[in-house]
Amino acid sequence: SVCWHGRQKRLFSTTKRRMTIMPAWVIDKYGGNDVLRFTKNASFPVITYPNEVIIKVNAAGLNPIDVGMRGGYGASSLSMKRDPLNLNQNGMEFPLILGRDMSGVIMECGLDVKYFTEKDEVWAAIPPWKQGSLAEFVVLSANEISRKPKLLSHREAAAIPYVAATSWSALVNTGGLSKDNCAKKRILILGGSGGVGTFAIQMLKAWGAHVTVTCSQNAERFVRELGADHVVDYTSGPVEKPLSELEKFDLILDNVGGETERWALTLLKPWSGAKYVTLVTPFLQNTDLLGIADGMMQTAATVATKALKHLVKGVHYRWGFFAPSGPALDEISEMVDAGQIRAVVEETFSFSQVPHAFEKMEKGHARGKTVVLIS
Ligand code: NDP
């Protein structure tokens, strides 16, 4: 509309020359790795709200959700989030840009952006309903970004935000942990060697917790170097038995899911506020399978039933979710610059090798993060 164009003009009044296209990896439909397409003509992102910034991306990080979203995972709920009034036709999300982690430099700020300015080096975890970081530029709101740690290169910085924001949401917001209440707490991380695990171990150790992790035997040294106090190998037999012989836990972070919740809650200290927080939830699958309304009802019913079932045994059952948060990243940035948390980059790919990076992700067995250098 005329009004919208007027606003655009005002927001960009300081810009001399506007770019309209940029290089990016996009998908035009959901599917396997063959749907990934490189283009030099992706739409250049525009500032639509005055609290947004345009960032030039230096490095992007991948997460399991990128592989999932390439195949259509979460498509119904994410479409609803992008277009809440359902004004657009199906498929309006395409061409879709994947990539949830980014580290880069601010090129332009909307009129209401106060805390950041052009040329600031920033990092962010991009919510799955927004265009991702496998592109030269991205638009985000100022409350989703944070100043990148000075100690890290862009490549290293791109390995942290999504797993950090997820760990923060699960452990702090849902689990009730903080830097002031972790000392002597016993925490169990199911699945310690991947992206979330390698970050969560370091954050919890920095806060003084005692951390036990499960991982495969060949990752034991790796997780110990990150600070794990006790390691249980899941490849040499069921972990329930060795774990049940240990002192009980104050909190369990479950990055594995599946069968784990059948036994994991018995490892918690009962009637002490102890919590089991799982990141492996059926939330997006339910809405993909059943549609938004039924999927949400099904999800609410499932989580309420499970929470109640465990509450009567004196332990708390919770689902954890990624949540974008610039302020959480600010705190993590300080921890990184204080030498308490390091980036764990397993493999780095160039911008031309994005399909190889996805192949690597699909093989599983991550030992930290996969990063793509954009520029
Ligand atoms: P990664 O792929 O980076 O890591 C998974 C790790 O788990 C690998 O190191 C793998 O190594 C290990 N693993 C696999 N099976 C087991 C097992 N039975 N016991 C112990 N370790 C195991 O994933 P992320 O860390 O990024 O994410 C973890 C999970 O959390 C994923 O399912 C992801 O989808 C989910 N998640 C959910 C979010 C939400 O909003 N709810 C947000 C972020 C993540 P190996 O196979 O060699 O043992």
What is this model's ipTM? 0.99
Neighbours of 309 (CB within 10 A): 11
Measured in Å, residue 18 CA sits from the centre of ligand 1 at 41
Contact of 47 with 108, CB cutoff 8 Å: yes
Write the pLDDT tens digit of every residue in 309-347.
Answer: 888 789 999 999 999 999 999 999 999 999 999 999 999
Q: What is the Cα–Cα distance from 230 to 247, expressed in whole angstroms?
A: 12
Q: From the CA of 336, how far away is ligand 1's center (Å)?
A: 23
Contact indicator for 249, 215 with CB cutoff of 8 Å: no
Q: Which two tokens stand for residue 256?
A: 């594995």
> What is the pLDDT, as a whole number, of residue 85?
81
CA distance 289 to 285: 6
Closest-CA residue, ligand 1 atom 4, reads 194
Q: Is the pLDDT of residue 209 over 90?
A: yes
* Cβ atoms of residues 123 and 157 within 8 Å: yes
Enumerate the β-bridge partners of residue 277.
253, 318
DSSP 3-state of 283: helix
Using the predicted structure, report yes or no on whether residue 15 has a pLDDT greater than 80: no
pTM attached to this predicted model: 0.94
Displacement of CA 352 from its chain's centroid (Å) = 23
What mean pLDDT comes out for the span 266-286?
94
Contact 373, 354 (CB under 8 A): no
Distance (Å) from CA 7 to ligand 1 centroid: 44
Determine the pLDDT at residue 17: 59
Confidence category of residue 295, pLDDT binned at 50, 70, 90: confident
Q: Quick one: which atom of ligand 1 is closest to the CA of 65?
A: 34
Would you say residue 9 has pLDDT above 80?
Answer: no
Q: Is the pLDDT of residue 14 over 70?
A: no
The Cα 352–Cα 375 span in angstroms is 11
Helix-helix angle 292-311:75-82, to 10 degrees: 110
Measure the CA–CA gap between 316 and 277, rounded to whole angstroms.
8
Can you tell me the distance from the alpha carbon of 283 to that of 303, in angstroms, rounded to the nearest whole number? 10
Of 73, 201, 256, the one to substitute when testing ligand 1's pocket (max ligand atoms within 8 A of C-beta) is: 256
E strand or H helix at 261 = helix 260-263
Residue 5: pLDDT band with limits 50, 70, 90: very low
Between strands 251-254 and 186-190, the pairing is: parallel
Q: What is the mean pLDDT of the chain?
A: 93
- Residue 10 predicted with pLDDT over 60: no
For the record, the structure tokens of 241 come out as: 């038995």
Is the model more confident about 3 or about 58? 58
* Best probe residue, ligand 1, of 100, 255, 367 (max atoms within 8 Å of C-beta): 255
Ligand 1 atom, smallest distance to 162 CA: 43
The answer, yes or no, to whether any atom of ligand 1 lies below 6 A from the CB of 278, is: no
Handedness of CA 300, 301, 302, 305 (dihedral sign): positive
Closest CA to 251 of 167, 181, 186: 186
Interval 149-192: pLDDT, tens: 999 999 999 999 999 999 999 999 999 999 999 998 999 999 99
Residue 13 has a pLDDT of: 44
Q: How confident is the model at residue 7 (pLDDT cuts 50, 70, 90)?
A: very low
Lowest-confidence segment of 68-72, 233-237, 276-280, 302-306 by average pLDDT: 302-306
The tokens for 2 are: 């005329």
Q: Verify whether ligand 1 is closer than 6 Å to residue 128 (CB atom).
A: no
Collapsing DSSP to helix, strand or coil, 336 comes out as helix
Does the pLDDT at position 6 exceed 50?
no
Q: What is the pLDDT of residues 69-126, one digit of tens each?
A: 999 999 988 988 898 888 887 888 999 999 999 999 999 999 999 999 999 999 999 9
239/233 Cα distance (integer angstroms): 7
| Alpha-helix runs per DSSP H in the chain | 2-11, 64-70, 75-82, 154-157, 161-167, 195-206, 220-225, 240-244, 260-263, 283-290, 292-311, 326-337, 354-362
What integer pLDDT is reported at residue 93 of this predicted model? 93
